């Protein structure tokens, strides 16, 4: 029975199942009611106090409570019963049978309102949703019916449906949709299939040319409405712009006197590939620093290593380094060239100082490279066996070792350089650098190891000019080389046999407690409770029956560990337990048997 009830006589019934309310949704619903009026009546149970308890329509009731300054809502139609059982059925029926609007239906209905000119705020009020929700659905309004039908039938998800906004070809949409339904393709795969001839703005070529330059050249783009991707749809135009920009850069570099400069389409040009193709790689002619410049270089290099160098100092160091790195001579440039390419991040890169295989004879005549020392292919064989060739190579190696032995400073610098750089198979010394474990799994908790002894990131020297890098490293001075060598050799040290370890320990006097302090994390929580009991007793000269020993024994293991940690690190705890000077000395020097 429908009754028109004064709103002041209404209240939420305890039977109403809605207990979690979103205030923003109530605000939106109130705006909807004010615009459209109350379409669905409330339902309630007559209570003993004469009021009507609302069992169905709790959200509408709360929205109406905010509209009581509007006379239309001061009296409300309510379906009323005196039977609590019927009221419970109404309550569960309305809340359990309510069916959410399918996203495909939302998209179509919102689009229909928008087509008629209904503004988004009005659409949001009409459906009791937020404006942002309407905007998100309207972005999908241009989806073909076959996609919306697949969404409504549950063949695809809403996120999969959103992928199809990037494609205008109905034929391609139909083909990819079928694959997406049959094969459960990922969203990334779907986008690739929908844009087979396009690249995104993250492509290295787009970064190099610039998206604005591409658009100014008339290049079309398309956007993914639900991702940040922008699609460049004319790859042919993009490649044309890349080639034009590379050609302009090649022309600029050729003005420096190089014999040739050519662009490459690859994202990398590697030295080993060039060498395999027969190119000769030239290096700049290194410069020399004056004595005064060398001293200044060493001073600035130390500041740079300590990260204490200012902007002017860094610029000065860079200028000095440029002198050391040297430059190509006009003679070198006349017989060599450069290859330009765009790397993965869209940056212009070059390989300069390349002698083309066809120009080697010219470079030899110019004295830029040496003539090959091996015999020509059609020359008679030497008759030297493989074993003898191995011996001769060993002789050459021995002679080099004999010579370098006379320059210990060079050897020291070279070893420090190898240890501190990732050289792979190009290492000058045949030594391994496998590091010996030197830190517990608990890290630096209670463990104050010199930071230099932790594993450091080494510069990756793959495909780099090692000679140039080593020259720069050596120029940092003896103090830098000795420090690097000391740090890396210390990290590789593992002792040897017992006699060797004893000898080294006697000279270096390692003090474990100066570096490691036992605490709850790194030790006490990791041993058994009776171990902690015995340790507490021994450190404080207690007996099993002592009150302090009984109190410690009643603690949980975690509490015991925390108490021992304080005994080792907290002066107030020692004062509270009346720790004597002898006991304090015992605590400060204590080590588990495994470390003695």
Give the mean model confidence (pLDDT) for residues 448-467.
Answer: 75
DSSP character at residue 541 = T
CA–CA gap between residue 374 and residue 363 (Å, rounded): 18
CATH class given for the domain over 2-97:
alpha beta
Structure tokens at 467: 């000679």
Contact 589, 513 (CB under 8 A): yes
154/104 Cα distance (integer angstroms): 10
**Residue boundaries of the structural domains of the chain:** 2-97, 244-365, 405-442+452-495, 513-595
Provide the percentage of residues in the chain whose pLDDT is more than 90: 36
Beta-carbon count within 10 A of 423 CB: 21
Of 582, 590, 536, residue with least CA distance to 559: 536
The residue to which tokens 């270089």 are assigned: 297
pLDDT at 396: 59
pLDDT in tens, 475-523: 888 888 888 888 777 777 766 667 767 777 777 788 888 888 899 988 8
For 148, 185, 507, the CA distances from 155, given in Å and listed in that order, are: 10, 12, 76
Closest residue by Cα to residue 250 from 353, 331, 337, 329: 337
pLDDT tens digits for 73-126?
999 999 999 998 888 888 776 655 455 678 998 898 888 888 888 888 878 876
Q: Which two tokens stand for residue 418?
A: 């190898």
* pLDDT higher than threshold 80 for residue 52: yes
Measure Cα distances from 169 to 156, 160, 163, 358 in Å.
19, 17, 13, 51
CA distance 435 to 433: 6
d(CA 170, CA 74): 54
String of DSSP letters for 396-429: HHHHHHHHHTT-HHHHHHHHHHHHHSB-GGG-SS
3-state secondary structure 121-142: HHHHHHHCCCHHHHHHHHCCCC
User: According to the model, what pLDDT value does residue 321 have?
Assistant: 87
pLDDT given for residue 382 in this prediction? 47
pTM metric for this prediction: 0.49
Structure tokens of 593? 């048997």
Q: What is the DSSP letter of 66?
A: T
Residue showing tokens 């615009």: 35
Please check the confidence at residue 404 and state whether its pLDDT lies above 50: yes
Query: Residue with structure tokens 């039938």?
Result: 153
Task: Judge contact between 563 and 552, C-beta under 8 A.
Answer: yes
Residues 6+ apart with CB under 8 A from 78: 2, 3, 4, 5, 10, 41, 42, 43, 44, 52, 54
> Is the distance from CB of 128 to CB of 29 less than 8 angstroms?
yes
């Amino acid at each position: 029975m429908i009754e028109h009830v004064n709103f002041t006589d209404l209240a939420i019934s305890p039977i109403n199942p809605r207990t979690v309310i979103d205030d923003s949704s109530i605000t939106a619903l109130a705006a909807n009611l004010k615009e459209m009026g109350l379409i669905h009546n409330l339902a309630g149970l007559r209570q003993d106090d004469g009021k009507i308890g609302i069992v169905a329509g709790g959200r509408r009731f709360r929205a109406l409570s905010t509209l009581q300054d509007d006379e239309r809502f001061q009296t409300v139609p309510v379906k009323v019963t005196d039977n609590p059982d019927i009221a419970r059925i109404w309550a569960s029926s309305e809340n359990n049978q309510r069916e959410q609007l399918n996203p495909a239906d939302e998209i179509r209905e919102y689009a229909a309102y928008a087509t008629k000119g209904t503004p988004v705020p009005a659409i949001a009020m009409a459906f009791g949703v937020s404006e942002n929700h309407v905007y998100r659905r309207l972005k999908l309004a241009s989806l073909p019916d076959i996609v919306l039908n697949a969404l409504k039938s549950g063949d695809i998800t809403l996120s999969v449906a959103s992928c199809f906004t990037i494609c205008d070809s109905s034929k391609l949409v139909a083909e990819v949709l079928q694959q997406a339904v049959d094969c459960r393709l990922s969203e990334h795969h779907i986008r690739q299939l929908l844009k087979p001839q396009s690249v995104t703005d993250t492509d290295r070529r787009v970064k190099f040319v610039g998206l604005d330059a591409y658009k100014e050249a008339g290049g079309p783009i398309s956007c993914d409405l639900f991702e940040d991707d922008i699609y460049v749809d004319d790859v042919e135009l993009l490649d044309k712009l890349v080639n034009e920009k590379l050609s302009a850069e090649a022309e600029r570099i050729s003005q420096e006197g190089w014999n040739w400069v050519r662009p490459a389409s690859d994202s990398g040009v590697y030295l080993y590939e060039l060498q395999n193709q027969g190119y000769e790689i030239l290096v700049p002619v290194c410069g020399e620093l004056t004595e005064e410049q060398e001293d200044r270089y060493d001073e600035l290099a130390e500041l740079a290593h300590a990260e204490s160098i200012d902007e002017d100092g860094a610029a000065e160091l860079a200028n000095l380094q440029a002198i050391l790195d040297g430059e190509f001579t006009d003679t070198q440039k006349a017989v060599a060239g450069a290859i330009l390419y765009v790397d993965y991040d869209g940056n212009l890169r070059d390989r300069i100082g390349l002698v083309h295989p066809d120009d080697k004879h010219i470079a030899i005549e110019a004295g830029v490279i040496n003539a090959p020392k091996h015999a020509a292919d059609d020359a008679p064989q030497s008759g030297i066996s493989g074993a003898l060739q191995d011996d001769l190579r060993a002789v050459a190696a021995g002679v080099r070792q004999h010579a370098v032995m006379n320059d210990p400073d060079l050897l020291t610098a070279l070893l420090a350089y190898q240890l501190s750089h990732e050289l792979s198979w190009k290492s000058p010394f045949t030594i391994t650098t496998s590091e010996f474990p030197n830190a517990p799994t608990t890290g630096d908790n209670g463990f104050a190891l010199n930071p230099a002894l932790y594993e450091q990131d080494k510069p990756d020297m793959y495909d780099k000019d090692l000679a140039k890098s080593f020259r720069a490293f050596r120029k940092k001075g003896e103090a830098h080389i000795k420090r690097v060598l000391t740090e890396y050799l210390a990290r590789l040290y593992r002792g040897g046999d017992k006699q060797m370890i004893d000898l080294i320990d006697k000279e270096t006097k390692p003090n474990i407690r100066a570096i490691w302090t036992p605490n709850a994390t790194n030790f006490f929580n990791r041993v058994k409770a009776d171990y902690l009991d015995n340790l507490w007793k021994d450190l404080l000269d207690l007996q099993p029956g002592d009150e302090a020993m009984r109190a410690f024994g009643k603690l949980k293991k975690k509490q015991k560990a925390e108490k021992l940690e304080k005994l080792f690190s907290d002066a107030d705890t020692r004062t509270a337990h009346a720790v004597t000077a002898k006991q304090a000395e015992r605590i400060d020097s204590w080590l588990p048997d495994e470390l003695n």
